[in-house]
Structure 1
Amino acid sequence: MMPENINWVLGGLALLAGCTLGAFFFGGLWWTVQRGAASKNPARWFISSLILRIGIVLSGFYLMGASQLLYLGFCMLGFLLARAVVLRITSYLPAATVPAMASPPGNPPCA
């Protein structure tokens, strides 16, 4: 017989897993934009990163939500919380953290 509060423990683990998945997804997105913008072939960066990030996140959601829908909900809540945290952290970082992105003043690089 399982203890009654095991559901809360598993729900907390699902929330933590969602936070981890969200931090990986949105942190990876920020990292990809930083690297892809300075790359000679940005499409390769963006497409490969998208496939990798979506594959890992969907696998994590599948593993969390396979047993019970409540755990999937906690996982998604953690994912959204991680989005807010990553947005807050990256908003304080300078826009051009990659040296190749620091362009001299004048015309924009795409003009």
Structure 2
Amino acid sequence: MNEMLALFWPWLIGGLLGVVFYGGLWWTVKQCVSSPRAGLWFSGSLLLRMGITLAGFYWVGGGQWQRLLPCLLGFIMARLLVAFLLRPGQESWAKPSEKKPGKPTQESRHAP
């Protein structure tokens, strides 16, 4: 039982790191749409998100690969969760899409 609990915490922290990483990526993309300095936003966000993630993995691992595996699993599961919650057609996870089915827009009527 203690062994399972010892692997639960790295999994949970990996999931939190994944939510921060991928949630931060989503937030950055939303900010860059209207920003004249999109490259600066992406670069700064990447450095911050990678720094937090790598420091978290380093702290969780503590030199033991057995703790890194559940951390990585939690990180990947968080990616799937964020991708599910922010799937196309939804503006945010807080409120459902307000688009109504009907006539397609001009952009969606033709293929490239």
Given the two structures, how large is their TM-score scaled by the length of structure 1? Answer: 0.78
1:14-62 deviations in whole A, cap 9, x for unaligned? 0000000000000000000010121011011100000000000000000
1:68-100 deviations in whole A, cap 9, x for unaligned? 2111000000000000000000115228xxxxx
Shift of 1:67: 4.0
In the alignment, structure 1 segments of 5+ residues that lack a partner are: 96-104
Question: How far apart, in 2, do the equivalents of 1:38 and 1:7 lie?
Answer: 48
Q: Does 1:29 align with 2:44?
A: no
Question: How far apart, in 2, do the equivalents of 1:94 and 1:67 lie?
Answer: 41
Question: How far apart, in 2, do the equivalents of 1:51 and 1:57 lie?
Answer: 10
Question: How far apart, in 2, do the equivalents of 1:59 and 1:68 lie?
Answer: 15
Question: How far apart, in 2, do the equivalents of 1:27 and 1:84 lie?
Answer: 11
Question: How far apart, in 2, do the equivalents of 1:45 and 1:106 lie?
Answer: 30
Identity %: 37
How many equivalent pairs are there? 94
Shift of 1:65: 1.1
For residue 79 of structure 1, what is the aligned residue in structure 2? 75
Question: How far apart, in 2, do the equivalents of 1:25 and 1:8 lie?
Answer: 26
Question: How far apart, in 2, do the equivalents of 1:86 and 1:9 lie?
Answer: 25
For residue 45 of structure 2, what is the aligned residue in structure 1? 49
For residue 94 of structure 1, what is the aligned residue in structure 2? 91
In the alignment, structure 2 segments of 5+ residues that lack a partner are: 93-104, 108-112
Given the two structures, how large is their TM-score scaled by the length of structure 2? Answer: 0.77
CA RMSD of aligned residues (A): 1.9
For residue 98 of structure 2, what is the aligned residue in structure 1? none
Q: Does 1:58 align with 2:54?
A: yes
